[in-house]
């Protein structure tokens, strides 16, 4: 065979192999939005039976078949009978001590009763499962989903049984080189069915999706769409906002889509006045209610404008962990623990690092007047050249935007954090993702966070070319902690290669253990509150020198679990950069930050 033919054959085989790989990854059906408002809903939350499968034997044993002995010589080496119970929603790591560091497979089972109704459709909806989910109903695989922080659903209308049904989910939170995130990240990899599971009954044609937000650049015109799903796609639809006496009528086409546009005198949402309206979306066969606010967000020159006015962003980073319980946060109450602390600090924005947090958190933040920065887990080392990664990024992006695009509180889609210019394929992949994001939603800021920087002779250089595709230059810098000061903070010079963009310090800070009396306060190695406080005092001094600064965001609100943080005295498995300890004690740096925000 000629060399040319050989290469062509190899290329063809590779193409087929990657297609097979893509197809074998079913991603779950895109979920309907606003599940919260659905009346005909049955929660599958609660206790689920579980089997831990450290050897990955469950696949080979086909545990979803739940075989039982038929004759005296039969036995099967698995059983959900007498199995330990785990709470859903919830991570498994915090529920059983022996699972604290589990990164592996757990099989979950829940039985439910259902009585079939003609003319109704039934969906099985998961708020999130970290990281891979394979879902089986009554012994048959119904699909799978990859990605730990976004919702997915399966229609089970035709396969649900009258009476008792057995639902089994294989949850796998092992790390993958080509996962999002990849192998390494600085938080506890909470696995499990971490958000709500619901059965949702709808009519034959239901409202699957809608977009109701102000059109880019406008303060009074809503531009959006309604999407129906079912056998009667073409229907009359209405959007009603009773408080404004507003009824907008439209008609969906044969694909179930209606574009909508209407104008009104909205009282705009802002941190000072988080005004939200009840909005009713109605078709001939379905009705959903939502709570929606209206505001505009844009970058003009080196400013960020909210509702046309420049705003200084007083932010804080938050991980999705209930600090008091050391568990993955999911409930409204969990969200309130985190968001109340952010409010007390004086914030007007929360950066929900480093993955999409639960819908509860986003909705609560919006109600409380906190803008939201929502982020994809495209974190540090990502294998951008892996053939599966672009599709995974796109799916996750779409799932994130779809769920929260009607939340006016969400002002930023952050697409990546601290990726490296030297990683092969990074720029092409992230530029493509940026374009996809802007095509999905043109109304919010699209941001990449980087820490590609130099610090020499007290001059701090920021240059990553990815910022060309970011609406703001979002910089993580740890001067005073990972990088020692090289002169007076107030004399630090910033050289930013993008002088025409707003600059946002998306992370800064250092570690301290609350109450540490370990050693001198001018030495880092004792994790004293004084050392951390000094970092904050110095940073605040430097902020005045940072060109085009539109906001700052300390890393971070509460100490949180991170297994890589191994100092046995001071860290004990926690990243201690919190302004608050995991118990909520205020460290000295808290007061520095609170004062700074008060002054802005």
List residues binding ligand GCB (CB under 6 A). 186, 354, 417-418, 451, 476, 507, 555, 575, 577
DSSP three-state, residue 548: coil
Instruction: Tell the smallest beta-carbon distance from residue 64 to ligand GCB (Å).
Output: 36
- Residue 112, judged by CB atoms within 10 A of its CB (0-12, 13-18, 19+), counts as middle
Report the residue number, 406 or 417, with the smaller CB distance to ligand GCB. 417
Q: Name 81's Cβ contacts closer than 8 Å, sequence gap at least 6.
A: none
Q: Which two tokens stand for residue 470?
A: 């970011």
Alpha carbons 251 and 61: distance in angstroms, whole number: 51
Report the residue number, 90 or 554, with the smaller CB distance to ligand GCB. 554
Instruction: Tell the smallest beta-carbon distance from residue 380 to ligand GCB (Å).
Output: 8
Closest residue (Cβ) to ligand GCB? 186
Report the residue number, 282 or 418, with the smaller CB distance to ligand GCB. 418
Report the residue number, 445 or 556, with the smaller CB distance to ligand GCB. 556
Instruction: Tell the smallest beta-carbon distance from residue 451 to ligand GCB (Å).
Output: 6
Report the residue number, 44 or 353, with the smaller CB distance to ligand GCB. 353
How many CA atoms, within 13 angstroms, populate the side-chain half-sphere of residue 507?
A: 23
Instruction: Tell the smallest beta-carbon distance from residue 468 to ligand GCB (Å).
Output: 21
Report the residue number, 91 or 418, with the smaller CB distance to ligand GCB. 418
What is the 3 state secondary structure string of 407-463? CCCEEEEEEEECCCCCCCCHHHHHHHHHHHHHHHCCCCEEEEEECCEEEECCEEEEC
Instruction: Tell the smallest beta-carbon distance from residue 381 to ligand GCB (Å).
Output: 12
Instruction: Tell the smallest beta-carbon distance from residue 113 to ligand GCB (Å).
Output: 44
Q: Quote the distance between the C-alpha of residue 497 and its chain's center.
A: 30
Please check whether residue 554 is in contact with residue 480, taking contact to mean a CB–CB distance below 8 angstroms: no
Q: Which of 66, 70, 54 is nearest to 109 (CA)?
A: 66
Instruction: Tell the smallest beta-carbon distance from residue 382 to ligand GCB (Å).
Output: 13
Instruction: Tell the smallest beta-carbon distance from residue 174 to ligand GCB (Å).
Output: 20
Instruction: Tell the smallest beta-carbon distance from residue 60 to ligand GCB (Å).
Output: 37
CB atoms inside a 10 Å sphere around CB 508: 25
Report the residue number, 172 or 186, with the smaller CB distance to ligand GCB. 186
Q: Which two tokens stand for residue 589?
A: 């740096």
Report the residue number, 139 or 421, with the smaller CB distance to ligand GCB. 421
Please check whether residue 202 is in contact with residue 225, taking contact to mean a CB–CB distance below 8 angstroms: no
Bridge partners for 16 per DSSP: none
Phi first, then psi: what are they for 472, rounded to 5°?
-130, 155
Instruction: Tell the smallest beta-carbon distance from residue 305 to ligand GCB (Å).
Output: 27
Report the residue number, 12 or 482, with the smaller CB distance to ligand GCB. 482
Report the residue number, 208 or 507, with the smaller CB distance to ligand GCB. 507
**237 secondary structure, DSSP code:** E
Report the residue number, 418 or 538, with the smaller CB distance to ligand GCB. 418
Burial state string for 334-344 with b = 16 or more CB within 10 A and e = fewer than 16: bbbbbbebbbe
DSSP code string of 115-163: ---TTEEEEEEES--BSEEEEEETTEEEEEEE-SSS-EEEE-TTTPPSE
Report the residue number, 173 or 575, with the smaller CB distance to ligand GCB. 575
Please check whether residue 288 is in contact with residue 39, taking contact to mean a CB–CB distance below 8 angstroms: no
Bridge partners for 170 per DSSP: 107, 134
DSSP code string of 491-531: G-EEEES-TTS-EEEEE------TT--SS-TT-GGG--HHH
Report the residue number, 64 or 460, with the smaller CB distance to ligand GCB. 460
Query: How far lies 357's CA from each of 352, 400, 577, in Å?
Result: 6, 9, 20
Give CA angle at 426 (425, 429), nearest 5°: 80
Phi first, then psi: what are they for 322, rounded to 5°?
-75, 110
Give CA angle at 337 (336, 342), nearest 5°: 85
Report the residue number, 399 or 559, with the smaller CB distance to ligand GCB. 559
Alpha carbons 142 and 561: distance in angstroms, whole number: 34
Instruction: Tell the smallest beta-carbon distance from residue 234 to ligand GCB (Å).
Output: 48
Please check whether residue 37 is in contact with residue 200, taking contact to mean a CB–CB distance below 8 angstroms: no
Alpha carbons 190 and 93: distance in angstroms, whole number: 6
Please check whether residue 293 is in contact with residue 531, taking contact to mean a CB–CB distance below 8 angstroms: no
Phi first, then psi: what are they for 349, rounded to 5°?
-145, 145
Instruction: Tell the smallest beta-carbon distance from residue 438 to ligand GCB (Å).
Output: 24
Is cis: bond before 257, omega within 30 of 0?
no
Instruction: Tell the smallest beta-carbon distance from residue 418 to ligand GCB (Å).
Output: 5
Instruction: Tell the smallest beta-carbon distance from residue 185 to ligand GCB (Å).
Output: 7
Instruction: Tell the smallest beta-carbon distance from residue 560 to ligand GCB (Å).
Output: 9
Report the residue number, 409 or 554, with the smaller CB distance to ligand GCB. 554
């Amino acid at each position: 065979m000629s060399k040319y033919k050989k290469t062509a054959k190899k290329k063809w085989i590779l193409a087929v192999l990657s297609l097979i790989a893509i197809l074998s990854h079913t991603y779950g059906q895109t979920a309907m939005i606003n599940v919260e408002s659905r009346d005909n809903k049955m929660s599958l939350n609660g206790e689920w039976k579980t089997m831990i499968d450290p050897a990955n034997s469950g696949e080979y044993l086909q545990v979803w078949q739940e075989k039982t002995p038929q004759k005296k010589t039969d036995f099967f080496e698995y059983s959900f009978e007498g199995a330990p119970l785990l709470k859903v929603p919830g991570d498994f790591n915090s529920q059983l001590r022996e699972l604290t560091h589990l990164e592996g497979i757990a099989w979950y089972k829940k039985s439910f009763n259902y009585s079939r109704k003609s003319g109704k459709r039934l969906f099985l909806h998961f708020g999130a499962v970290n990281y891979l989910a394979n879902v089986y109903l009554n012994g048959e695989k119904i699909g799978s989903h990859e990605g730990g922080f976004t919702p997915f659903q399966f229609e089970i209308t035709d396969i649900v049984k009258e009476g008792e049904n057995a639902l089994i989910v294989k949850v796998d939170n092992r790390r993958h080189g080509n996962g999002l995130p990849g192998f390494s990240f600085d938080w506890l990899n909470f696995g499990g069915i971490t958000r709500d599971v619901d059965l949702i009954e709808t009519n034959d044609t239901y409202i699957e999706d809608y977009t109701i937000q102000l059109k880019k650049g406008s303060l009074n015109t809503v531009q959006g769409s309604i999407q129906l799903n079912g056998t009667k796609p073409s229907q009359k639809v209405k959007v009603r906002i009773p408080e404004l006496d507003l009824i907008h009528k439209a008609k969906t086409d044969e694909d179930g889509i209606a574009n909508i546009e209407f104008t009104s005198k909205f009282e705009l949402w802002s941190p000072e006045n988080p005004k939200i309206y009840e909005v009713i979306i109605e078709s001939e066969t379905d009705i959903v209610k939502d709570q929606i606010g209206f505001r505009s967000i844009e970058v003009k020159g080196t400013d960020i404008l909210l509702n046309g006015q420049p705003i200084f962003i007083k932010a804080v980073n938050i991980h999705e962990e209930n600090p008091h319980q050391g568990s993955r946060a999911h409930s409204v109450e969990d969200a309130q623990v985190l968001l109340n602390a952010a409010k007390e600090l004086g914030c007007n924005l929360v950066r929900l690092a480093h993955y999409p947090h639960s819908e509860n958190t986003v909705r609560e933040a919006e109600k409380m007047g906190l803008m939201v920065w929502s982020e994809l887990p495209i974190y540090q080392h990502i294998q951008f050249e892996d053939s599966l990664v672009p599709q995974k990024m796109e799916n996750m992006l779409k799932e994130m935007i779809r769920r929260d695009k009607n939340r006016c509180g969400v002002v930023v889609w952050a697409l990546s954090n601290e990726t490296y210019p030297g990683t092969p394929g990074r720029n092409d992949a992230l530029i493509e993702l940026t374009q996809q994001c802007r095509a999905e939603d043109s109304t919010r800021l699209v941001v990449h966070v980087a820490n590609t920087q130099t610090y020499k002779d007290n001059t701090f250089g920021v240059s990553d070319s990815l910022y060309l595709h970011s609406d703001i230059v979002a910089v993580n810098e740890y001067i005073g902690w990972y990088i020692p000061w090289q002169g007076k903070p107030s004399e630090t010079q910033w050289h930013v290669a993008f002088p025409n963009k707003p600059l946002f310090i998306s992370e800064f800070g250092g570690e301290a253990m609350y109450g540490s009396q370990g050693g001198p306060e001018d030495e880092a190695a004792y994790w004293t509150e004084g050392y951390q406080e000094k970092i904050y005092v110095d940073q605040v001094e430097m902020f005045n020198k940072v060109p085009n600064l539109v906001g700052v965001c300390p890393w971070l609100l509460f100490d949180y679990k991170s297994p890589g943080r191994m100092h046995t005295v001071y860290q004990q498995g926690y990243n201690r950069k919190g302004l608050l300890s995991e118990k909520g004690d205020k460290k000295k740096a808290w007061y520095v930050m609170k004062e700074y925000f008060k002054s802005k």
